[in-house]
Amino acid sequence: MAIRNILTYIVVIAIASSVAYAADPTQLQDFCVAVNDPNAALFVNGQFCKNPMEATPEDFFRQGLDKPGFTGNGNRLGANVTLVSAAQVPGLNTLGISIARIDFAPYGLNPPHTHPRATEILTVLEGTLYVGFVTSNLQNGENKLFDKVLNKGDVFVFPQGLIHFQLNVGKTPAVAIAGLSSQNPGVVTIGNAVFGAEKPISVDVLSKAFQLDGNVIKRLQSMFWISP
Ligand SMILES: *[C@@H]1O[C@H](CO)[C@@H](O)[C@H](O)[C@H]1NC(C)=O
């Protein structure tokens, strides 16, 4: 009996610790400002980091999120994402967070996409957005849409990895700020990845997958897929 209790205890600990390891590891130092020059670098977890004695406030700083991204003529989606991640602010390296400004022309769309490495929390500063995300495949085979119309000051969360979108349903420009739980969230724009891949995914694969005639697939593949 005692042995069984101990085994149960070990199993519970094993499950609990495997859950704990599902999160990003905690950083081992205050920060690891990304640097390209190996002579100015230390190694942490196999990556170059700037020697902390040489880090400056500029490593943690970026200007310009007050400026709208261009959404005018020639921007076919009428949306523009200005991302500030570790690529723009080297001090974000290893910290697991980034931010984006998203501008929308009237009826502009940030098309269905996912962030493979980040949950997103979005707040509307101006305008009215229709937003939503779709769950992964549920046990009953469904994918459920969670959607909402957001006004100024409203906040909405897009869980990590799930397909989501934002559409400006107002007659005026809209702007939102998004926080992302990765220093390098990544983007998969669904249409671009599926129909715009370089080289193209085989028509046989896509016509079977989408239950569409090959000519429809070829037409979709011939389109110019863009992301904001
Ligand atoms: C987004 O805005 C930036 C800054 O105005 C501009 O350089 C870029 O071309 C815009 N992107 C699109 C797709 O219009």
pLDDT tens digits along 134-184: 999 999 999 999 999 999 999 999 999 999 999 999 999 999 999 999 999
Which pLDDT score is estimated for 205? 98
Identify the bridge partners of residue 124 per DSSP, sorted by sequence position: 176
User: 220: which residues sit within 8 A by CB, 6+ positions away?
Assistant: 195, 206
Question: Is residue 67 reached through a cis peptide bond, with omega within 30 degrees of 0 on the bond before it?
Answer: no
Report, as an integer, the average pLDDT of 192-219. Answer: 97
Q: Does the beta carbon of 94 sit less than 6 angstroms from any atom of ligand 1?
A: no
Q: Does the beta carbon of 227 sit less than 6 angstroms from any atom of ligand 1?
A: no
Has residue 84 got a pLDDT over 50?
A: yes
Q: Could you report the per-residue pLDDT of 86-130, keeping only the tens digit for each?
A: 999 999 999 999 999 999 999 999 999 999 999 999 999 999 999
Has residue 203 got a pLDDT over 80?
A: yes
Q: Does the beta carbon of 80 sit less than 6 angstroms from any atom of ligand 1?
A: yes
Which pLDDT score is estimated for 219? 97
**Do residues 146 and 130 make contact, with C-beta atoms less than 8 angstroms apart?**
no
Which pLDDT score is estimated for 97? 96
Report domain extents, the chain: 1-184, 187-228
Q: Which of 63, 70, 88, 225 to mutate to test the pocket of ligand 1 (most atoms within 8 A of CB)?
A: 70
**Do residues 85 and 54 make contact, with C-beta atoms less than 8 angstroms apart?**
no
CATH fourth-level superfamily of 1-184:
Jelly Rolls (2.60.120.10)
Q: Could you report the per-residue pLDDT of 5-61, keeping only the tens digit for each?
A: 665 665 555 555 555 455 666 777 889 998 888 888 887 766 789 998 999 999 999
Tokens of 89: 């602010």
Ligand 1 center from residue 19 Cα (angstroms) = 41
**Do residues 136 and 155 make contact, with C-beta atoms less than 8 angstroms apart?**
no
**Do residues 43 and 49 make contact, with C-beta atoms less than 8 angstroms apart?**
yes
Which pLDDT score is estimated for 1? 47
Residue 103's CB is within 10 A of a number of other CB atoms, namely 25
Q: Does the beta carbon of 160 sit less than 6 angstroms from any atom of ligand 1?
A: no
**DSSP reduced 3-state for 204:** helix
Q: 2 falls in which pLDDT band (50, 70, 90)?
A: low
User: Which of 40-54, 59-73, 191-205 has the weakest average pLDDT?
Assistant: 40-54
Residue nearest atom 4 in ligand 1 by C-alpha distance: 69
Q: Does the beta carbon of 75 sit less than 6 angstroms from any atom of ligand 1?
A: yes
